[in-house]
């Protein structure tokens, strides 16, 4: 029983090597939003930023081309795109002749917009472009707090509270301890999260306990960030709030959801773990 077929290693997956848009699998957002009391009009604005580091196709001479792609899926889209289906779809271009990056970008935008149900922005860049340099999330880390933890899920909004002093502050807090699990595969999703707000000072120990309570929770990246946003708004009532999570990549893709009370979108800052 020591041969690979009896191990818990990943089982064989058939990867298409030609273009096939039917591989994309949309998942409606609303069911999970109903769980946290979110309906139209949305109480936030935002975007899901995807980065693809394993994009390749053939030029018209059949020579491979490699690139890095960035995708912006608006939070207002009715659907998210399941990540494994996204990976399989992108891998389908590996042996597909495409005239140039502009033609590929137009095709990707067409298919992804159809799956998401709203316009998706697509940016294709050379692999060594300066845009891909590292720049971690700004903010003050709360990970060093001497907090005893004995709760790892499901998420507990009750941990969230404002400090007794009630002072109004404007600050940016970050943690690298965000972890949840994919509801489809059960695989862990590791991430860093930035909480930027103006309002009554949030109790930092409570916030850290709350974030750690996602550790065994099964939910997609986008859903976790929306849950954090809604829980902080309900429990701490900030005047302004932004929640930005940068998840580590799997299968060449990372997903980075952003939700905010404001209109400004974040920079696509590639963290050291990404």
Start-end of H helices in the chain: 30-35, 83-91, 101-116, 204-212, 221-236
Question: Under a CB-based contact definition with an 8 Å cutoff, are residues 217 and 183 in contact?
Answer: no
Q: Is 182 a catalytic residue?
A: yes
Q: Cα–chain-centroid distance for residue 168?
A: 30
20 flagged as catalytic: no
Q: Does the annotation place 36 within a ligand binding site?
A: no
CA atoms of 81 and 89, how far apart (whole Å): 11
Could you give the CA distance from residue 241 to residue 80 in angstroms, rounded to a whole number?
A: 22
Nearest one of 178, 179, 180, 197 to 139, comparing CA atoms: 197
Q: Which of 189, 203, 231, 254 is catalytic?
A: 189
**12 in a known ligand binding site:** no
3-class state of residue 222 by DSSP: helix
Burial (CB count <10 Å: 0-12, 13-18, 19+), residue 169: middle
Active-site residue, from 20, 136, 151, 182: 182
Cβ contacts of 118 within 8 Å, gap of 6 or more: 73, 74, 76, 77, 78
Binding residue per annotation — 84? Answer: yes
131 is in an annotated binding site: no
Q: Is 82 annotated as a binding residue?
A: yes
- Alpha carbons 217 and 227: distance in angstroms, whole number: 12
Q: How many Å apart are CA 107 and CA 98, to the nearest integer?
A: 10
Angle at 172 between CA 235 and CA 32, to 5 degrees: 45
Is residue 81 marked as binding?
yes
d(CA 192, CA 8): 28
Active-site residues: which are they?
182, 189
Residues flagged as binding site for substrate: 81-83, 221-222
Residues flagged as binding site for NADPH: 83-84, 250-251
Residues flagged as binding site: 81-84, 221-222, 250-251
């Amino acid at each position: 029983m020591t041969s690979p077929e009896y191990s818990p290693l990943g089982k064989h997956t058939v990867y298409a090597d030609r273009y096939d848009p039917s591989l994309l699998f949309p998942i409606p957002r609303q069911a999970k939003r109903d769980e946290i009391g979110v309906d139209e009009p949305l109480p936030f604005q935002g975007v899901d930023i995807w980065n693809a580091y394993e994009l390749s196709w053939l030029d018209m001479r059949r020579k491979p081309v490699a690139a890095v792609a960035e995708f912006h899926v608006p939070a207002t889209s009715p659907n998210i795109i399941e990540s494994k289906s996204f990976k399989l779809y992108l891998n389908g271009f590996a042996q597909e002749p495409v005239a140039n990056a502009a033609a590929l970008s137009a095709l990707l935008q067409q298919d992804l917009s159809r799956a998401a149900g709203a316009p998706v922005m697509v940016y294709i860049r050379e692999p060594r472009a300066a845009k891909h340099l590292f720049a971690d999330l700004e903010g003050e880390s709360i990970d060093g707090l001497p907090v005893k933890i004995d709760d790892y899920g499901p998420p507990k909004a009750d941990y969230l509270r404002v400090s007794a002093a009630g002072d109004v502050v404007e600050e940016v807090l970050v943690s690298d301890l965000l972890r949840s699990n994919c509801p489809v595969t059960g695989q862990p999703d590791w991430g860093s999260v930035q909480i930027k707000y103006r309002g009554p000072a949030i109790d930092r120990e409570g916030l850290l306990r709350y974030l750690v309570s996602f550790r065994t929770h099964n939910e997609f990246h986008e859903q976790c960030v929306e849950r954090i946003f809604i829980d902080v708004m309900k429990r701490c009532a900030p005047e302004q709030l932004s929640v930005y999570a940068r998840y580590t990549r799997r299968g060449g893709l990372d997903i980075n959801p952003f939700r905010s009370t404001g209109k400004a979108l974040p920079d696509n800052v590639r963290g050291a773990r990404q």
